[in-house]
């Protein structure tokens, strides 16, 4: 068993859940959170295993720092990234600096320190609007936002290290992950938190696009299964449910689960530019099932119920600014 794990972006939504899973599975975890002068560890403040992990603060944009934190690591799960699509319209260079150059730094450091496995986390946004469904790993890549362009670049950088230097990289490509601790920049926590706060009307962007939503525990289990699979080295692998639902139907299901009569209104300021909106995402998860036997444990209803149950707890809801629009 490869014992020593570095998780970049461990202070984030998916990273904090992956940290808990890996500790539960017996790994020794070094968890990277982005340096800040508040000495905040992000969502790592809330994990049950906080005393069982080594937390380090820093920035993947610094190559020297990356070399230092990857020493003695057997596995690197690279999740650190800028991910908010609307903010990428305002600050595209920061996405290149973090997502592309940061990935270069991690891969170079992993190569120099002889890391045995690297799982680089991609996103279904790189596919853009589906040209065919369900979307398999051979689907064309379409940069419909500066964010997705930066992730396409990061994926290519990671795979180049496999092809050029035989760095044992797997590119994991999760479709839309949701669950406890997700940022309110995403639609599911935005709706749940505002309903829980007693809002009677909620302003939204376009609710017609479809998504393949995945509960965070399933995404993390998929990441773990891939790092344990030797046949996944040098491969790009989707993580998804193979189930498609519109954003609008998802919101109606949340409203039903929360026994709410809230009204949804369209706010034109929240609409993406026309060519940038990804209208349809539906995952073909055949490859990960064949490689690892992975099957999602949560369907959309059970995952949303678990998410609602977490958000309605007062101590959790208090962490969200329900009266502000998160970019």
For 167-204, the pLDDT digits (tens) are 999 999 999 999 999 999 899 999 999 999 999 998 88
Backbone angles phi, psi at 150, to 5 degrees: -65, -35
User: Would you state the structure tokens that stand for residue 136, as one six-digit string?
Assistant: 């398999």
- Environment class of 163 (CB within 10 Å of its CB; exposed 0-12, middle 13-18, buried 19+): exposed
Residues 92-106 have a mean pLDDT of: 98
Buried b (16+ CB within 10 A) or exposed e, 263-295: eeeeeeeeebeeebbbebbbbbbebbeebbebe
- pLDDT band of residue 270 (cuts 50, 70, 90) is low
For 33-81, the pLDDT digits (tens) are 999 999 999 999 999 999 999 999 999 999 999 999 999 999 999 999 9
Residue ranges per structural domain of the chain:
4-127+137-177+214-239, 180-211+243-317
- DSSP for 242-272? S--EEHHHHHHHHHHHTT--PEEEE-GGGPP
Q: How far apart are CA 215 and CA 178, in angstroms?
A: 5
- pLDDT band of residue 259 (cuts 50, 70, 90) is very high
pLDDT at 107 over 80: yes
- Pick from 45, 51, 42, 57: which is nearest to 23 by CA? 51
User: Would you state the structure tokens that stand for residue 192, as one six-digit string?
Assistant: 């749940």
Please provide the size of the chain in residues.
327
Say which CATH topology domain 180-211+243-317 has: UDP-galactose 4-epimerase; domain 1 (3.90.25)
Q: How far apart are CA 263 and CA 201, in angstroms?
A: 5
4-127+137-177+214-239: in CATH 3.40.50.720: yes
**Residue 327, pLDDT score:** 63
Q: For helices 146-165 and 102-112, give the axis angle rounded to 10 degrees.
A: 20
Q: How far apart are CA 83 and CA 104, in angstroms?
A: 17
Residue 197 gets which letter from DSSP? T
Residue 58, beta-bridge partner list:
34
- pLDDT band of residue 205 (cuts 50, 70, 90) is confident
**Residue 274, pLDDT score:** 74
Q: CA triplet 105, 111, 117: central angle to 5 degrees?
A: 100
Measured torsion, CA atoms of residues 240, 210, 317, 310, in degrees rounded to the nearest 10: -40
User: Would you state the structure tokens that stand for residue 50, as one six-digit string?
Assistant: 């906080």
Give 164-184 as a 3 state SS string: HHCCCEEEEEECCEECCCCCC
- Pick from 234, 241, 186, 235: which is nearest to 219 by CA? 241
Contact 168, 103 (CB under 8 A): no
pLDDT at 1 over 60: no
pLDDT at 131 over 90: yes
pLDDT at 220 over 90: yes
For the whole prediction, is pTM greater than 0.85?
yes
- Environment class of 3 (CB within 10 Å of its CB; exposed 0-12, middle 13-18, buried 19+): exposed
Contact 241, 218 (CB under 8 A): yes
């Amino acid at each position: 068993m490869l014992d020593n794990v570095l998780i970049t972006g461990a202070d984030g939504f998916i990273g904090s859940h992956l940290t808990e899973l890996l500790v539960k599975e017996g790994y020794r975890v070094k968890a990277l959170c982005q340096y800040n002068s508040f000495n905040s560890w992000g969502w790592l403040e809330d994990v049950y295993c906080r005393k069982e992990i080594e937390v380090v603060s820093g920035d993947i944009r610094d190559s020297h720092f990356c070399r230092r934190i990857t020493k003695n690591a057997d596995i690197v799960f690279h999740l650190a990234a800028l991910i908010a699509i609307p903010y990428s319209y305002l600050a595209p260079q920061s996405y290149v600096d973090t997502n592309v150059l940061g990935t270069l730094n991690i891969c170079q450091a992993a190569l120099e320190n002889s890391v045995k496995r690297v799982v680089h986390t991609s996103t279904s946004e790189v596919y853009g609007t589906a040209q065919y469904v369900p979307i398999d790993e051979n689907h064309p890549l379409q940069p419909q936002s500066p964010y997705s362009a930066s992730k396409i670049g990061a994926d290519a950088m990671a795979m180049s290290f496999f092809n050029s230097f035989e760095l044992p990289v797997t590119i994991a490509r999760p479709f839309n992950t949701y669950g406890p601790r997700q940022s309110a920049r995403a639609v599911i926590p935005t709706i749940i938190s505002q309903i829980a706060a007693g809002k009677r009307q909620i302003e939204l962007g376009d609710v017609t696009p479809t998504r393949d939503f995945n509960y965070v525990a399933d995404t993390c289990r998929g990441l773990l299964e891939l790092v344990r699979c030797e046949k996944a080295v040098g491969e790009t692998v989707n993580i998804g449910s193979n189930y498609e639902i519109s954003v609008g139907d998802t919101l109606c299901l949340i409203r039903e689960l929360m026994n709410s009569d809230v009204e949804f209104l369209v706010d034109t300021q929240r609409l993406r530019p026309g060519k940038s909106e990804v209208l349809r995402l539906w995952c073909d998860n055949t490859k990960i099932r064949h490689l690892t036997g992975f099957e999602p444990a949560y369907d959309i209803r059970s995952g949303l119920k678990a998410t609602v149950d977490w958000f309605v707890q007062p101590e959790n809801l208090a962490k969200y600014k329900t009266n502000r629009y998160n970019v």
